[in-house]
């Protein structure tokens, strides 16, 4: 697994500056397009071209089950994971609709659904039949962790082969907000009560029960706190590990990453802890409705593009943000300069 700590390319500072200079020449007050200017300048530096594009978008959705679902931490039964994978494969989920609207490549990877599925479009890279119950045992073995990380790296490799301009990782796994919450608490020194949310729709009593389960997970695996790989192995899910591996490898291959919501940001935090040079390659798509998400946003110092109260997962929030990034690129490339439009610039 030597690839995990391989450094990522450094953004091109000269092209960032060239894009910045172009923004200053466009027919608008400097900074008038706000974050749209920032993201397009970052994309220019990452793609090493003054006029970046996001035509080819690659979406990988990783699915797996969690043993901690036995602790009744979700409003939905564990069987929903496999049922939703089938829904992805038949084109009926939100991410299918969004991917089609974007003209994006969409793939579904089984990294450990409890009930294995067979479908010609399904990529099977299973690390196990779901993780162990992390409230009682480490969620996965070292070998399983490596398999799940590699599944993510392989997805990024496919995106690179397809010359993707942007990588999006999605996830599906009943009880994965519990795993992500435990990871947030361990890595950021947070208290479960202030981080734990409703997930798939728990009521107040359900959330309080989930808090106690997260605390049990943290107590059991206290020695793993602050070690990203050990925290991931002991508390995480196969799909979170796959996302972590995908983000690491995409950045190493020079592919910008648009991070989805609460679960995906846990993987982004892990990826940055494992290899800090991943950070410039990450864009945060939206603010999740999960209360703990704000803590990771602060830790990563990334600004979400959208705040729509979304908490679906699947990569859906990231997919919704793609048109915004595309518009930023279109404005940057298509607007006239003051000289071209014969408009007087700022005095």
Tens digits of residue pLDDT in 248-306 = 999 999 999 999 999 999 999 999 999 999 999 999 999 999 999 999 999 999 999 99
The SS3 of residue 158 is helix
Q: How are the residues of the chain apportioned to helix, strand and coil, as percentages rounded to the nearest 5?
A: 55, 10, 35
User: Which pTM was predicted?
Assistant: 0.97
**C-alpha span between 236 and 179 (Å, rounded):** 5
* Residue (of 100, 63, 331) closest to 176 by Cα position: 63
The pLDDT, as a whole number, for residue 200 is 83
The pLDDT, as a whole number, for residue 347 is 58
For helices 262-274 and 293-300, give the axis angle rounded to 10 degrees.
30
Which of the residues in the chain have pLDDT under 50?
none
Active site residues: 314
């Amino acid at each position: 697994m030597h690839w995990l700590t391989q450094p990522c390319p450094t953004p091109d500072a000269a092209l960032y500056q060239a894009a910045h200079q172009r923004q200053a020449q466009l027919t608008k007050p400097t900074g008038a397009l706000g974050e749209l200017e920032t993201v397009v300048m970052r994309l220019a530096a990452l793609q090493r071209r003054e006029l970046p594009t996001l035509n080819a978008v690659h979406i990988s959705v990783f699915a797996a089950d969690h043993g901690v679902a036995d602790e009744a931490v979700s409003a939905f039964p564990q069987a929903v994971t496999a049922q939703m994978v089938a829904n992805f494969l038949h084109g009926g989920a939100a991410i299918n609709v969004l991917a089609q609207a974007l003209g994006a490549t969409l793939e579904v990877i089984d990294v450990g659904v409890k009930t294995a599925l067979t479908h010609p479009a399904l990529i099977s890279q299973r690390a196990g039949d779901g993780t162990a119950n992390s409230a009682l045992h480490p969620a996965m073995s070292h070998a399983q962790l490596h398999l799940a990380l590699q599944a993510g790296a392989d997805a990024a490799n496919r995106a690179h082969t397809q010359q993707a301009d942007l990588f999006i990782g999605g996830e599906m796994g009943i009880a994965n907000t519990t795993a992500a919450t435990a990871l947030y608490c361990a890595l950021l020194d947070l208290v479960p009560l202030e981080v734990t949310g409703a997930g798939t729709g728990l009521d107040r009593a359900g959330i309080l029960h989930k808090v106690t389960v997260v605390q049990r997970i943290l107590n059991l695996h206290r020695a793993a706190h602050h070690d990203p790989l050990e925290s991931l192995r002991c508390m995480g899910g196969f799909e979170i590990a796959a996302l972590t591996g995908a983000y690491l490898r995409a950045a190493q291959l020079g592919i910008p990453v648009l991070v989805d919501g609460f679960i995906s940001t846990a993987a982004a935090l892990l990826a940055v802890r494992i290899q800090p040079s991943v950070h410039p390659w990450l864009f945060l798509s939206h603010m999740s409705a999960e209360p703990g998400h704000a803590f990771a946003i602060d830790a990563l110092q990334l600004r979400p593009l959208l705040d729509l109260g979304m908490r679906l997962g699947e990569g859906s929030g990231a997919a919704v943000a793609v048109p915004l990034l595309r518009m930023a690129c279109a404005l940057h490339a298509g607007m006239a300069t003051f000289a071209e439009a014969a408009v007087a610039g700022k005095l």
